[in-house]
Chains A and B, each alone.
Chain A
Amino acid sequence: MNFVWTSVMLVGMGLLLINNVEVTMDTLLAGGSKAISLCIKLWGIYTLWLGILKIVEHTGLDKKISKILRPIIKLLFGKVDEYTENQIAINITSNLFGMGNASTPSGINAIAGLDNKKSKYATSAMIMVIILNSTSMQLIPTTVIGLRVSAGSVSPSDIIIPTFLATVCSTVVGIILVKLFSKIFKDK
């Protein structure tokens, strides 16, 4: 992360210095402002879904979901404690329903549950959470369909099946790669 970030910043700013120095500071500041407006939007989304998530927890529904998903969780993550297992179960479920940002809070809780608060190295279980969420199942890619409608497409929902197949493929490849890498590089 450090390497990628620093190289993008150095090379990018170097290019701007040569080609278009006037916009450099504006660009840097624009990044910060855009992050704030996204965070305000996310704050609203998180408020709703964390509220809903607590209801799920207090009604004991999370335990029921994780009981159903236990074999899958065990296969993907190995042994985890009960709280983390429930969070992972909710996370997988919300990803399956294509809730997008709604799955972020439970995913973050799951990672925090897997963390031992001491090590600075990510474990393979944590990386599995990251990969599952980044290659997230999007059953119906609503935003993209919306864009197609406004661009005047004759059949905007054409892309649903191909997108679904591509998602399944990226998820499967992701899971296999994490399993493979976790064999080669043991957790520290």
Chain B
Amino acid sequence: MSKYLLPTLIILLLLYSLIKRNNTYNSFVIGAKSSFDLVLTSFPYIATIFIAVEIFNVSGLSYLFADFVAPFFENIGIPKELSQLVILKNFTGCGSLALLENIFQTYGPDSYLARAGCCIAGCSEAIFYVTAIYFSQTKVTKFRYAIIVGILANLAGSIVSCLICKII
């Protein structure tokens, strides 16, 4: 069902453009032109985040940090096996998918931990990454409460994930 959604929307848009007698080809070219600038200006931000994420993972800091917060997470209903996922997910989407695959292999894809992990990974995006890219076109350097609200919202999503998967 979902695989039809985007192609259908695009076809409808092209038809709409045809009816409106818009020069569809020209519009697309003009839009596509701006992709170069967007990638170029967001690259340094993405690279800077990625380097820190690599260090975070390879150095074992992510394990230490996960161990450190695990007791607190258990109190709010997040199993300790998932604490690393909950933390890593704030930094990188790809990284948390790799972690999810590990959980599948260790506990089986239909276990409670795997299902809850899927919801945690799927319910939101990496706040550090999103913040860095979205502000890349502005002079803004003080993000104020963006990060902390993002982390808290992620945490709320994670708690609900663990709770719902326990019921269903």
User: How far apart sit A90 and B149, CA to CA, in the bound complex (Å)?
Assistant: 23
A-side interface mostly: helix
B79 is an interface residue with CB less than 8 A from chain A: no
CB distance from B64 to the nearest CB of A (A): 8
Bound Cα distance from A152 to B111, whole angstroms:
12
For B131, list chain A residues within 8 Å (CB): 1, 130, 134
Main secondary structure of the interface of B (DSSP, over half): helix
The answer to whether B54 touches A159, judged by C-beta atoms less than 8 angstroms apart, is no
Choose one: A9, A108, A112; the contact of B55 (CB below 8 Å).
A9
Is A11 among interface residues, defined by CB-CB distance under 8 A?
A: yes
Contact with A along B28-62 (1 / 0, CB 8 A): 11111011101100110011111111111011110
CA distance A113 to B10 in the complex (A): 25
In the bound complex, what is the Cα–Cα distance between A131 and B29 (angstroms)? 31
Asked if B154 is an interface residue, CB under 8 A from chain A, the answer is yes
Contact B147 A158 (CB under 8 A): no
B2 in the interface (beta carbon within 8 A): yes
Instruction: Check B165 against A162 for contact (C-beta < 8 Å).
Output: yes
B124 close to A170 (CB less than 8 A): yes
- Chain A residues, Cβ within 8 Å of B115: 158-159, 162
User: How many interface residues does A have (CB within 8 Å)?
Assistant: 97
Task: Report A-chain residues with C-beta under 8 Å of the C-beta of B100.
Answer: 144, 147
Flag if A46 contacts B35 (CB, 8 Å): yes
Max chain B C-beta neighbours (<10 A), residue from A31, A39, A173: A31
Min C-beta distance of B110 to chain A, whole Å: 5
CB contacts (< 8 Å) of A130 on chain B: these are 127, 130-131, 134-135, 143, 146, 150
Q: Which residues of B contact A (CB under 8 A)?
A: 2, 5-6, 9-10, 13-14, 16-17, 20, 22-24, 27-32, 34-36, 38-39, 42-43, 46-56, 58-61, 64, 94, 97, 100-101, 104-105, 109-110, 114-115, 118-128, 130-147, 149-150, 152-154, 156-158, 160-161, 164-165, 168
**Sample of 6 more A-B contacts, CB < 8 Å, known A32-B50, A48-B32, A144-B97:** A12-B52, A31-B55, A47-B32, A115-B139, A131-B150, A151-B101
